Amino acid sequence: MKTLSDRAAELGLTEDELAFYDAVAANPSALHMGEDVLQQIARHLYRLVSEDVTVDWRIKEQARDRIRAKVQFLLNYYGYPPDKAPDAIDRVLKQTEVKAEEWA
């Protein structure tokens, strides 16, 4: 069984980026976009949320909505399957909650 470090290294991602990769790659129709595109999305998502997450972001709905809008824009930019984007956004926000605890 591969460790997270091994999977991340295999994909050329950090472990934090891998969490976001898994969030967007969970959709089978997104896999048709290709591994390279999903890796780019994961890197972009990591940068986006790590820059925007504040200590109280989970409490303030406005901050959460801002991150949600940015994630939606990013997925649209990369042509993520629109029928699955709401699920992917929810998974990304859940990953953000987990990572925010680690980053705090």
36-48 average pLDDT score:
94
What local confidence, expressed as pLDDT, does residue 75 receive?
A: 94
pTM, entire model: 0.85
Give yes or no for residue 65 having a pLDDT over 80.
yes
Q: What angle do CA 68, 87, 43 make, to 5 degrees?
A: 60
What local confidence, expressed as pLDDT, does residue 45 receive?
A: 93
Cα distance between residue 38 and residue 59, in whole Å:
29
What local confidence, expressed as pLDDT, does residue 55 receive?
A: 62
69-98 average pLDDT score:
91
